[in-house]
């Protein structure tokens, strides 16, 4: 074989190898395809078998469900038939019951009809009897009227006869009057000649005597009426005031002009005094309060008549003792801070007092002024507490009398507000307080209660009278106020002097701590009516000249004794 033929043979070999490989691959693919087809056929057969099994199962379930539904329908039909039978029986019972009730209703209606018929017949019978009685009564009245007319005719005849007789008597009386007039003229001439008096003079003396007797009689009547009115008024007033006082629950405390400050130890006294008394001098100069350091263990005294300043000094000293640093600059610093605390305490006290009394619409300036009264006193009684007591008493008395309790409480609560400004304004505290209340928009009746509670203005309203009464009750209750021994003795002496200056007074005794005056008069110089007049005059003079809590009773005693000696 030549060289040219060698490549061709190689190419043919390669082609045959390639064809063999392709054929081998095709056989392998065909084999795999057949296997897949066989697997798919098996799966299809299995699926078909499963489908047939499920179809058989569903068919059996459907048949059983159909049978169950059929049985349930038959049972429901049986139940409905039973219910229908029960309903028919119930309807039959209802029909029989309705027929029975209808028969009962008919029987009741017949009974009611018979009862109504009987009642109507009885009522008709009673009406006939009433008409018969009324007819008889009318006949009797006609008979009485006839008799009365006959009697009136007889009376008219008697009156006519009496009138004729009276006419004759009047003519005779006229004749007698003429004769009496002539006799009076003759008697008057004879009396004028005997008494040497003219008719006018005799008339004047007679009128004077009658006038004196009438005045005496009128005064006795007035005295009886006044005594009766006074007794009744005292009973009623005592009842009202007693009820108000019994309902009032208040502390019986009094204020002092000295405050005690407790110290942790006696060594603190030396620190308060300071080197060469520097601290105590600075304290007294800054606060205006006297600091008294004595032998009292662990305590010092603060003395001042101004309670606000004394309270400020007390707070200042307490703060200095707690701080421990006591020197002039520190004293001034603490004092300024204590002044602010006292102002806050005053404002809080005013708010508490208003809340207790029930007043909410007070002007801020009036409330600030009212707070200052927390540290003011009158005869040892705290003024703010006195105002609260007076407001409660006035409200309770107003409620008993059927008045406006809120207005009366407001007037009594504000009546002493001027005491907080007496040192700043001229005039009495009543007038100053009234001007202050009027300035800040208080009602005229409230202003009148303030200005009239000490009779500096004439009282013209019931609220002002209740304010005076509440003020007297609060100030005159036991333990409320105290006065100095000197003032007490002077008041007793003045009471006795006022009574002794009247004519006919023999002895005077001031009794019951000046609450009553017993005046012994001479029976020959003073009669019963004059004794009554004297008691009134003494009481009026005491009211005008003296200032005292509560009231003073004036009793004039007139005793007559007749003594004879048997021999």
- Confidence category of residue 234, pLDDT binned at 50, 70, 90: low
CATH number assigned to the domain comprising residue 317:
3.30.1370.10
Q: What CATH number corresponds to the domain at position 537?
A: 3.30.70.1350
d(CA 396, CA 409): 9
Indicate the residue among 357, 385, 415 that finishes a domain: 357
Return the closest-CA partner of residue 333 out of 347, 352, 320.
320
Q: Specify whether the CB–CB gap between 391 and 357 falls below 8 A.
A: yes
Q: What is the mean pLDDT of residues 279-288?
A: 86
Q: Which of 126-140, 391-405, 407-421, 545-559 has the lowest mean pLDDT?
A: 545-559
Residue 112 counted as domain residue? no
**Structure confidence at residue 1 (pLDDT):** 45
**What is the C-alpha separation between 443 and 271, in angstroms, rounded?**
55
Q: What is the pLDDT of residues 235-276, one digit of tens each?
A: 666 556 555 544 444 444 444 556 788 888 877 888 888 888
Mean pLDDT of 381-396: 86
Pairing relationship of beta strands 290-292 and 299-303 according to DSSP bridges: antiparallel
| Residue 316 falls inside a structural domain | yes
pLDDT in tens, 89-114: 887 888 888 788 878 888 888 888 88
Instruction: Kindly report, residue by residue over 4-15, the tens digit of the pLDDT.
Output: 444 455 666 677
The pLDDT > 90 percentage for the chain reads 0
User: What pLDDT digit, counting tens, does each position of 471-505 carry?
Assistant: 887 776 655 555 555 666 788 888 888 888 888 89
Residues in the chain: 567
Residue 151's SS3 state is: helix
Helices (H), 425-526: 429-439, 444-451, 462-476, 485-500
Backbone angles phi, psi at 299, to 5 degrees: -160, 150
- pLDDT value at residue 362: 86
Both structure tokens of 103: 């028969």
Q: State the average pLDDT for the chain.
A: 79
Range of the domain at 509: 486-558
Please report which helix (H) or strand (E) contains residue 349, including its range: helix 328-357
Is residue 472 assigned to a domain?
Answer: no
In a domain, 94, yes or no: no
pLDDT at 320 over 70: yes
Section 370-396 average pLDDT:
83
The residues, any chain, with a CB within 8 Å of residue 210's CB and separated by 6 or more, are: none
Query: Is residue 185 in a domain?
Result: no
Give tens-digit pLDDT for 11-60: 666 777 777 787 777 778 777 767 766 677 676 677 667 767 776 777 67
Phi-psi region of 358 (alpha: psi -120 to 50; beta: other; left: phi over 0): left
Could you tell me if residue 348 is inside a domain? Answer: yes
Query: For residue range 392-433, what is the model confidence (pLDDT) as tens digits?
Result: 888 888 888 888 888 888 988 988 888 887 555 667 788 888
Point out the domain boundary residue: 318, 341, 357. 357
- Model pLDDT, residue 250: 46
Mean pLDDT of 385-392: 88
Tell whether the model's pLDDT for residue 300 goes beyond 80: yes
**Cα dist. 324→95, 185, 244, 320, 457 in Å?**
108, 114, 51, 6, 55
pLDDT value, residue 567: 66
Q: How many of the other CB atoms lie within 10 Å of CB of 303?
A: 14
- Whether residue 332 lies inside any domain: the answer is yes
Task: Identify the band that residue 191 occupies on the pLDDT scale cut at 50, 70 and 90.
Answer: low
Instruction: Give how many domains the chain has, as a whole number.
Output: 2
Question: So what's the pLDDT on residue 249?
Answer: 43
Beta strands in 150-309 (DSSP E): 258-262, 290-292, 299-303
pLDDT of the residue at 253: 41
The encoded tokens of residue 350 equal: 């005013």
Contact of 420 with 369, CB cutoff 8 Å: yes
Residue 499 lies in a domain: yes
pLDDT in tens, 518-536: 999 988 888 888 888 888 8
Identify the residue whose tokens are 């004039």: 556
Nearest residue to 531 (alpha-carbon basis) of 85, 307, 227, 308: 227
Helix (H) / strand (E) element for 173: namely helix 5-195
Domain boundary among 340, 357, 374: 357
């Amino acid at each position: 074989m030549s060289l040219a033929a060698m490549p061709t043979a190689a190419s043919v070999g390669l082609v045959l190898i390639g064809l063999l490989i392709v054929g081998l691959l095709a056989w392998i693919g065909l084999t795999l395809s057949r296997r897949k087809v066989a697997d798919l056929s098996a799966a299809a057969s299995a699926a078909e078998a499963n489908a047939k099994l499920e179809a058989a199962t569903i068919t059996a379930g459907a048949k059983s469900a159909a049978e169950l539904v059929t049985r349930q329908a038959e049972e429901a039909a049986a139940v409905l038939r039973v219910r229908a039978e029960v309903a028919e029986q119930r309807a039959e019972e209802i029909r029989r019951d309705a027929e029975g009730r209808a028969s009962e209703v008919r029987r009741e209606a017949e009974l009611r009809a018979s009862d109504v018929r009987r009642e109507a017949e009885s009522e008709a019978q009673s009406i006939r009897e009433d008409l018969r009685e009324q007819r008889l009564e009318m006949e009797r009245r006609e008979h009485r009227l006839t008799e009365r007319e006959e009697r009136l005719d007889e009376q008219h005849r008697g009156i006519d006869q009496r009138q004729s007789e009276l006419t004759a008597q009047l003519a005779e009386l006229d004749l007698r009057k003429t004769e009496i007039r002539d006799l009076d003229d003759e008697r008057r001439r004879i009396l004028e000649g005997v008494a040497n008096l003219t008719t006018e003079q005799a008339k004047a003396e007679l009128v004077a005597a009658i006038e004196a007797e009438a005045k005496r009689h009128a005064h006795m009547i007035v005295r009886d009426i006044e005594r009766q009115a006074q007794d009744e008024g005292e009973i009623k007033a005592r009842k009202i005031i007693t009820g108000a006082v019994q309902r009032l629950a208040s502390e019986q405390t009094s204020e002092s002009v000295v405050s005690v400050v407790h110290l942790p130890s006696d060594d603190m006294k030396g620190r308060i005094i300071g080197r060469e008394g520097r601290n105590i001098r600075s304290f007294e100069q800054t606060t205006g309060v006297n600091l008294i350091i004595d032998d009292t263990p662990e305590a010092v005294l603060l003395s001042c008549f101004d309670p606000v300043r004394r309270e400020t000094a007390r707070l200042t000293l307490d703060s200095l003792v707690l701080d421990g640093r006591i020197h002039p600059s520190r004293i001034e610093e603490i004092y300024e801070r204590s002044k602010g605390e006292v102002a806050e305490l005053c404002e809080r006290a005013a708010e508490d007092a208003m809340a207790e009394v029930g007043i909410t619409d007070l002007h801020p300036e009036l409330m600030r002024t009212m707070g200052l009264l927390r540290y003011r006193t009158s005869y040892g009684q705290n003024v703010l507490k006195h105002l609260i007591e007076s407001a409660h008493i006035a409200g309770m008395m107003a409620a008993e009398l059927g008045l406006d309790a809120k207005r009366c409480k407001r007037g009594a609560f504000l009546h002493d507000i001027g005491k907080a400004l007496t040192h700043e304004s001229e005039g009495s505290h009543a007038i100053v307080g009234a001007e202050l209340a009027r300035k800040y928009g208080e009602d005229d009746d409230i202003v009148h209660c303030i200005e009239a509670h000490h009779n500096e203005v004439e009282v013209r309203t019931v609220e002002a009278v209740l304010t005076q009464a509440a003020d007297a009750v609060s100030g005159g209750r036991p333990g409320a106020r105290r006065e100095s021994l000197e003032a007490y003795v002077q008041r007793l002496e003045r009471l006795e002097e006022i009574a002794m200056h009247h004519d006919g007074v023999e002895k005077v005794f001031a009794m019951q701590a000046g609450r009553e005056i017993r005046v012994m008069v001479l029976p020959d110089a003073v009669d019963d009516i004059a004794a009554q007049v004297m008691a009134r005059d003494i009481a009026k003079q005491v009211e005008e000249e003296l200032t005292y809590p509560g009231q003073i009773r004036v009793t004039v005693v007139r005793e007559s004794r007749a003594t004879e000696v048997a021999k």
